[in-house]
């Protein structure tokens, strides 16, 4: 079986095109959506992500501020910046790139973000709204992007068994909540590093979502023939044949599973491009909601 390759670049471009129109309308009405992106330290992957987020804002006509703070920045200094951004009317969305350096208490920082500006959907108020299925909240961008991909390809979720490997607050848990919601109606199992017989459990999945951060962990024996595989992993592995000395692979061994699944998100070019598109969508949503007040 040759699987359908789920083209995240194309779906992300469609989302962005919709947003460009919305942003033009907002601007005509005197409202320019604004996003502040905060990076603490010099993690190379984080620097790339933050750069891509700011670039996407420019491409769509969203006002942005990039705050690149030194690794020694204290918790107090970071929180002070968050309070400043909370009070800035030009800024509708605030994002602190994860993971911060170890001396920063990330949860405490997130608690200081105004939930109405929490376009990452990490604040407990937004986590609660996701669980409550209150659509005024913000949902983390990566799982939101995964749902958008399934919808764009007409992949049904109702009555299906979805297995999500990974229980992070950024992807695994919100993904499971979205899939089990009354909108999607999947039956959901969350698996993790302590799950017994992980391959056997995954083989019962109609939709398998891999969000663990372990390169090519999902092998052929994890995948039921005909299953849909969503690979959230973005892992750098050494590769001396590449100019940069590394290449990017997912959490799924693509070559091993491609002959048995019915559809799969490739890495790169699957879920990755959707994260930023959904961040832009959340920023526009934040702008709209703040206009009303």
According to CB under 6 A, which residues from 128 to 157 bind ligand GUN? Answer: 141-142
Contact between 64 and ligand GUN by CB under 6 A: the answer reads: no
Contact between 6 and ligand GUN by CB under 6 A: the answer reads: no
Contact between 212 and ligand GUN by CB under 6 A: the answer reads: no
Q: What are phi and psi of 36, to 5 degrees?
A: -110, 125
The residue among 156 and 269 lying less far from ligand GUN, judged by its C-beta, is 269
What residue has token string 């017994």? 196
What residue has token string 């390169």? 215
- Which residues are tagged catalytic? 53, 97, 120
Q: Which stretch binds ligand GUN (CB under 6 A): 11-19, 26-34, 90-98, 283-291?
A: 90-98
Interface with ligand GUN (CB under 6 A), residue from 36, 62, 95, 227: 95
Interface with ligand GUN (CB under 6 A), residue from 22, 106, 114, 120: 120
d(CA 1, CA 11): 23
Q: How many residues in the shown chain lie near ligand GUN by CB under 6 A?
A: 9
Output the residue with the shortest Cβ distance to ligand GUN.
98
The residue among 11 and 141 lying less far from ligand GUN, judged by its C-beta, is 141
Contact between 170 and ligand GUN by CB under 6 A: the answer reads: yes
User: Taking the complex as a whole, how short is the minimal distance between the CB of residue 288 and ligand GUN, in angstroms?
Assistant: 21
Contact between 65 and ligand GUN by CB under 6 A: the answer reads: no
d(CA 223, CA 33): 42
Contact between 283 and ligand GUN by CB under 6 A: the answer reads: no
Contact between 187 and ligand GUN by CB under 6 A: the answer reads: no
Contacts of 140 (CB under 8 A, 6+ apart): 120, 121, 122, 169, 170, 171, 174
User: Taking the complex as a whole, how short is the minimal distance between the CB of residue 168 and ligand GUN, in angstroms?
Assistant: 9
Query: Which spans of this chain sit near ligand GUN (rule: CB under 6 A)?
Result: 95-98, 120, 141-142, 170, 275
């Amino acid at each position: 079986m040759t699987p359908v390759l789920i083209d995240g670049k194309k779906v992300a471009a469609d989302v962005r095109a919709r947003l460009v129109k919305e942003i033009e309308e907002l601007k005509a009405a005197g409202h320019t959506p604004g996003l502040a992106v905060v990076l603490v330290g010099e993690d190379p992957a984080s620097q790339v992500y933050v750069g891509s987020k700011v670039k996407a804002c420019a491409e769509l006509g969203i006002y942005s501020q990039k705050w690149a703070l030194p690794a020694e920045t204290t918790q107090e200094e970071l929180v002070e910046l968050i309070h400043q951004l909370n009070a800035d009317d030009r800024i509708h969305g605030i994002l602190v790139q994860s993971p911060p350096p170890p001396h920063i208490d990330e949860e405490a920082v997130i608690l200081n973000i105004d939930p109405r500006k929490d376009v990452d959907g990490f604040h407990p108020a937004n986590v609660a709204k996701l669980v409550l299925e209150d659509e005024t909240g913000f949902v983390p961008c990566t799982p939101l992007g995964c749902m958008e991909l399934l919808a764009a390809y007409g992949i049904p979720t109702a009555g299906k068994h979805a297995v999500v490997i990974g229980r992070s607050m950024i992807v695994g848990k919100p993904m499971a909540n979205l899939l089990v919601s009354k909108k999607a109606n999947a039956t959901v199992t969350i698996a993790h590093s302590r799950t017994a017989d992980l391959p056997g459990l995954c083989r019962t999945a109609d939709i398998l979502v891999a969000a663990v951060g372990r390169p090519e962990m999902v092998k052929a024996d994890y995948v039921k023939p005909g299953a849909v595989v969503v690979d959230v992993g973005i892992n750098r592995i050494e590769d001396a044949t590449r100019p940069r000395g590394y290449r990017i692979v997912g959490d799924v061994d693509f070559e091993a599973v491609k002959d048995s699944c019915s559809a799969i998100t490739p890495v790169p070019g699957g879920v990755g491009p959707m994260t930023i598109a959904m961040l832009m969508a959340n920023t526009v949503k934040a702008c709209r909601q703040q206009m009303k007040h």
